[in-house]
A = this chain, B = another copy of it.
């Protein structure tokens, strides 16, 4: 604390990101990155762009990328908003669309950045408890609110809310913005983008950090009707005119356009998730059905924290949350096929 701080600074509880250790040779299954590299076309686009006028500002609106996303999802390009990672897109969304008189609603077990955004923009919120099986119940979102946000599939649970249930929440909240945070949707869920044409209150947020394997480049986007996108643009243009650099835009555009590579690498992860789920079950784990690139598990006899520590001793890092309701659970990212095998081998030793 310093007397020079704006009053808000003291009240903040900054987000603590998953550990990014600088050692090599770790099996890093703690931050849900893609275990495979991005499309070779994305890397080629970077190498080409690196020679092209980096001394000039990028396109402030990232029009090429915006069009590629619009084409992919078959929406108009004025329904697309681009940001420096979906975290920035989320931040602008909280400020532009979720700051009203009533508290906003989100699940009690959810992306832990949400309460941080609320503290940054002084937004009241109310956590809505997930069911005992960690599912979102749409009926719980029938109370007065200033907006609703939830990840789908949810994180860290991995559990998907079916599109009909998302629609139920939208139907019962016609006067609230409902944000569906789809960071992990490409690993098995149906995107709410298909609802954008019919609902004037839905905002879908996605990232290129997971399914497109570009976490290192920071690209995220929102899709919604233009009147909502307009609010995001107004805030963005009052904050930073050029959030996306030239290389990130070029690589992201190439990654979106390379559908074949994208589908293949998602499929590999889905297949490995199903295999790993079976093997973990055999080892005595309870596993929440996942449509994400991670599984959320607890063991019938050994404590989560102990397993995490023992895996770490073998240079495998998984995510443990010391939080109510989930303090005996582990979130494990689906690594490469080989990393999944190595995990199972080590778990067998640890649990013997």
Contacts and interface: CB of A to CB of B under 8 A. Distances in A.
B228 A57 contact: no
A238 B117 contact: yes
A120 B235 contact: yes
18 contacts: A5-B97, A9-B96, A14-B234, A17-B57, A20-B56, A35-B55, A36-B55, A38-B54, A55-B214, A56-B215, A85-B242, A87-B240, A120-B235, A120-B239, A216-B247, A217-B246, A218-B244, A247-B247
A194 interface: no
A286 to B, nearest CB: 29
A243 interface: yes
A122 to B, nearest CB: 11
B241 A55 contact: no
A237 interface: yes
Given A2-B230, A15-B238, A245-B245, 4 more contacts: A5-B96, A34-B55, A36-B55, A46-B50
B59 A20 contact: yes
Nearest to A3: B175
A227 interface: yes
A339 interface: no
B248 A245 contact: yes
A28 B56 contact: yes
Most B CB contacts (10 A, CB to CB) among A6, A13, A37, A227 go to A6
A310 interface: no
Contact of A228 (B4, B42, B177): B4
Contacts of A160: none
A295 to B, nearest CB: 19
Interface string A240-282: 1111111110010000000000000000000000000000000
A309 interface: no
B15 A241 contact: yes
Interface residues of A, number: 85
A231 B120 contact: no
Nearest to A210: B55
Interface string A201-214: 10000000100011
A57 B241 contact: no
A34 B53 CA distance: 10
A230 B2 CA distance: 9
A238 B47 contact: no
Contacts of A246: 216-217
B217 A54 contact: yes
Contacts of A37: 53-55
Contacts of A176: 4
Contact of A231 (B2, B91, B240): B2
A54 B60 contact: no
Interface in A303-323: none
A33 interface: yes
Complex A-B, nearest 6 residue pairs according to Cβ-Cβ distance, in ascending order = A14-B237, A6-B99, A55-B213, A54-B216, A2-B227, A216-B246
Contacts of A245: 216-218, 245, 247-248
Contacts of A5: 96-97, 231
A55 B209 CA distance: 7
A337 interface: no
A55 B36 CA distance: 7
A132 to B, nearest CB: 31
